[in-house]
Amino acid sequence: MQLKQLLKKIISENDIYCKVCFKRITNISLHKLFGNPLICDNCFKEMDPKFIKFKIKDISCLAIYEYNQKIKELLYQFKGCKDYELKDVFFENFKTYLNIKYQGFVIVFAPSYKESELERGFSHLQEMFSFLRLKKLDILEKTNNIKQANLNFEERKNIYKYIKLRQNNDVLTNKKILLVDDVYTTGNTIKACIKELKKFNPKKISVLVMSKRIIKNDEIR
């Protein structure tokens, strides 16, 4: 009986399916050391993490992925199709590293339009970054449901008009802030957020984005 239970346990432990392609994950020897894997090696390769470091003036920014076709599809499935199960796939293999890297920071989420979140039933940023064991503040707000893709170059530069701090207090003073977002495109949203956050004299601001769109010069206008 005990042997039977043990075998059952081993089989069930090996019965792990990729949350992205739903294929059975067979190569789990390494992953076993760290718990059950969520994604298969193939999907991970397609996501293609690049750890892109860049700066906005003196602020250090890190993007884990380029906004490639796979990331675009996954994000659409997660946000647009409300596939909550995907919340952990983006950072799965970097949880420990990022928790160490950003120790002592307070997370501030890039703003999203609240009605879209209510409709979706969850905040995609809060779920996606829930692996970070840091204090989290949802204090930035977008006051208009504008999509950057629908704006022209001049309008995009004015996006800061629609970004506001929800509470006017000094919770950020002298704090190390980690501003997080899913996609970095023109940087206008992040720059507008930084401008708002700086009003409270934080000790430091860093930026972590899941993905960064690489914009060619001819795409800007």
- Eight-state DSSP code of residue 77: I
Sign of CA dihedral 50, 187, 128, 149: negative
Of the pair 26, 168, the CB lying nearest Zn ion is at 26
Whole-number Å distance between alpha carbons of 18 and 14: 12
Q: Quick check: 18 binds Zn ion (CB under 5 A)? A: yes
38, 40, 89, 197: residue in contact with Zn ion (rule CB under 5 A):
40
How many residues are listed for the chain in this entry? 221
Residue with tokens 């293999």: 93
Distance in Å, CB of 25 to Zn ion, minimum: 8
Of the pair 40, 125, the CB lying nearest Zn ion is at 40
Q: Quick check: 71 binds Zn ion (CB under 5 A)? A: no
With contacts defined by CB under 5 A, how many residues of the chain interact with Zn ion? Answer: 5
φ, ψ of residue 187 to 5 degrees: the values are 90, -5
CB distance 110 to 196 below 8 Å: no
- Within 81-110, which residues bind Zn ion (CB under 5 A)? none
Sign of CA dihedral 5, 18, 49, 193: negative
37, 38, 43, 124: residue in contact with Zn ion (rule CB under 5 A):
43
CB distance 139 to 165 below 8 Å: yes
6, 10, 21, 81: residue in contact with Zn ion (rule CB under 5 A):
21
Distance in Å, CB of 212 to Zn ion, minimum: 23
Q: Quick check: 20 binds Zn ion (CB under 5 A)? A: yes
Of the pair 22, 221, the CB lying nearest Zn ion is at 22
| Region near Zn ion per CB under 5 A, out of 1-9, 42-50, 170-178, 207-215 | 42-50
Distance in Å, CB of 23 to Zn ion, minimum: 5
Which H/E stretch holds residue 13? helix 2-14
Of the pair 48, 219, the CB lying nearest Zn ion is at 48
| Region near Zn ion per CB under 5 A, out of 11-19, 80-88, 184-192, 209-217 | 11-19
* Burial (Cβ within 10 Å: 0-12, 13-18, ≥19) of residue 88: middle
Distance in Å, CB of 21 to Zn ion, minimum: 3
Whole-number Å distance between alpha carbons of 104 and 118: 30
Binding site for Zn ion (CB under 5 A): 18, 20-21, 40, 43
